[in-house]
Amino acid sequence: MERRSFLKSFTAAAACVAVLPRMASAADEAKKVVGPNEMNYATAVAAITGGKAVVESAKVKVEAPEIAENGAVVPVKVTVDSPMNDKDYVKAIHLLNTKNGNARCSNVYLTPANGEAFFGTRIKLGGTQDVVAIAQMSDGTFLSAKQNVKVTIGGCG
């Protein structure tokens, strides 16, 4: 083999090796799927409160299992202590998670006709995290409560 042709093939091979890892990482990035409504927890809370303070309160109760064997079905119940009359009622119960791709689960807008501030559902959790309920009161304040849920099998994918 002539020196020139050897050098040519060598540099071509080296270039291939150099390019390979980059291609691999690009493929990894392509694999990471971004959901249609990606939003992190802090942004989701800010969108609800509009920057107002959220106070942790014993008036709000989040009932969720401490250990969820299956993250695909986690039962959650939220109750807020309120008289639910025309002057003093819970305007909305916002249910959030801290680590899913989309931190928002549901925004439930109540009226005094409900008689009781209650919302129950089943949610998907991708891993161990907090389930947070924010209650928007009729006087404009925000109360919250949270419950940590340990997930042994993730519920997304």
Partner 1 sequence: MKTLIKIKPKTYAAGDIVKIDFMAMHPMETGMRKDKDTGVLIPANYIDEVKFLFNDTLITKMVIWESLSVNPLFSISFKVPSAGTLKVIAKTNTGQSVESSEPITPKG
In the complex, the residues that contact partner 1 under the rule CB under 8 A are 33-37, 72-74, 77, 84, 97, 100-102, 104-111, 113-125, 155-157
The residue among 19 and 24 lying less far from partner 1, judged by its C-beta, is 24
The residue among 95 and 145 lying less far from partner 1, judged by its C-beta, is 95
Smallest separation (angstroms) from partner 1 to the CB of 8: 38
Residues 51 and 136: beta-carbon distance below 8 Å: no
Distance between CA atoms of residues 46 and 54, nearest Å: 10
Query: What is the phi/psi pair of residue 6, to 5°?
Result: -60, -45
Amino acid symbol at 66: E
Distance between CA atoms of residues 12 and 19, nearest Å: 11
The residue among 6 and 120 lying less far from partner 1, judged by its C-beta, is 120
DSSP per position, 90-157: EEEEEEEESSSSB-EEEEEE--GGGSSEEEEEEE--SSSEEEEEEEEETTS-EEEEEEEEEEEE----
Smallest separation (angstroms) from partner 1 to the CB of 138: 15
Smallest separation (angstroms) from partner 1 to the CB of 40: 13
Smallest separation (angstroms) from partner 1 to the CB of 77: 8
The residue among 7 and 88 lying less far from partner 1, judged by its C-beta, is 88
The residue among 52 and 120 lying less far from partner 1, judged by its C-beta, is 120
Cβ-in-10-Å burial (0-12, 13-18, 19+) of 80 comes to buried
Smallest separation (angstroms) from partner 1 to the CB of 72: 6
